[in-house]
Amino acid sequence: MSQGEQPSTTTTGGDGEPFILFDLAGATYGVRSREIQQLEMIGAITPVPNAPGFVDGVVSVRGQVIPVVNLRSRFGFERIAFDIRSRLLVVRREGRTVGFAVDSAREFASIAADAIQPPPEGISGLNGRYLEGLAHLGERLVLILDMTDLFSPDGAEVLPPRPVETGQGALNL
């Protein structure tokens, strides 16, 4: 979030876990806030040769060079140009840091564990593969992402195990 920007907060009642909500292709997604290292505006992205199509390139975030995964592209949605609302969700897991580009992210929500329903059996493919479940926040349906699966070995094309020398140490894309 940019300096001075205050996110809105929503709750499902009870003792819920905090989530960061973001918009992508007209849908609202949620990620546990403990999974997110930081939220940033999307800066200048440097393309990387031979990267998978959904990797836009690399960006410097607070002195660290990280790959940028375009979640629209990763989930099979049409790409759009980044704008002032676009955000980078910076996630660090298992020694790797990745930025996930999303349409916007300005809201925190507390969602009770019992409010998260498993995804319907008919959902398959990339979108269904990364869904932990669904939750209702008022009239909105929130798709809860499973970040573990985004970083899993069978999703290795998100983070291929090939180091790229950047002059600041190796970078795993």
1-48 residue pLDDT tens: 444 444 455 554 557 899 999 999 999 999 999 999 999 999 899 999
Residue 68, domain member (yes or no): yes
Domain count, the chain: 1
Residue 165, domain member (yes or no): no
Residue 56, domain member (yes or no): yes
Residue 119, domain member (yes or no): yes
Distance CA 139, CA 93 (A): 32
Q: What is the mean pLDDT of residues 131-152?
A: 86
CATH number of the domain bearing residue 21:
2.40.50.180
Q: Is the dihedral of CA 2, 31, 28, 142 positive or negative?
A: negative
Listed range (14-23, 127-136, 163-172) with the worst mean pLDDT: 163-172
Q: What residues make up the domain containing 108?
A: 8-155
Whole-model pTM: value is 0.78
CA distances from residue 61 to 37, 44, 65, 101, 128 in whole angstroms, order as listed: 11, 10, 6, 13, 30
Concatenate the DSSP letters of all residues of the chain into one string.
Answer: --TT---EEEE-SSS-EEEEEEEETTEEEEEEGGGEEEEEE--PPBP-TT--TTEEEEEEETTEEEEEEEHHHHTTPPP----TT-EEEEEEETTEEEEEEESEEEEEEEE-GGGPBPPPTT--HHHHHTEEEEEEETTEEEEEE-HHHHTSGGGGGGS-S-EEE-SSSEEE-
Residue 168, domain member (yes or no): no
